[in-house]
Structure 1
Amino acid sequence: MAKHTFSNIFSPVLLYATLLVDGTDLGLERMVDATRDLSYHHLVNVAQWHVN
């Protein structure tokens, strides 16, 4: 089983979703609920590293 690191899970989709959450005050939990393919953990990582 491959070890997941931040570099191999990052995608532009995660960045765009995180920017949308930040710009609309939607909240990470609600974004995860609205999508099938995004996880809360991945969105938090992108938010911490690239947005906040």
Structure 2
Amino acid sequence: MTQDDLEIQILLWRFTLLRGETTLADATCSEILMKLKSAIENKKHELAQRQANYG
């Protein structure tokens, strides 16, 4: 899933860089993590719609 979605790849890269600079609690609430969660949810919804249309 992430190989096909540039937005998710970029967010994962940014989060990886952030991990070394913050505590786990800070990272959990980070804007990057929230954007990553949203991007993943959007991709899951897109894939489910695609599957429903072809299934």
The two structures have a TM-score, normalised by structure 2, of: 0.35
Q: Considering fraction of residues, name the structure with more helix.
A: 2
Scaled by the length of structure 1, what TM-score is found?
Answer: 0.36
Higher RCO (C-alpha under 8 Å, 6+ residues apart) = 1
* The structure with more radius of gyration: 2
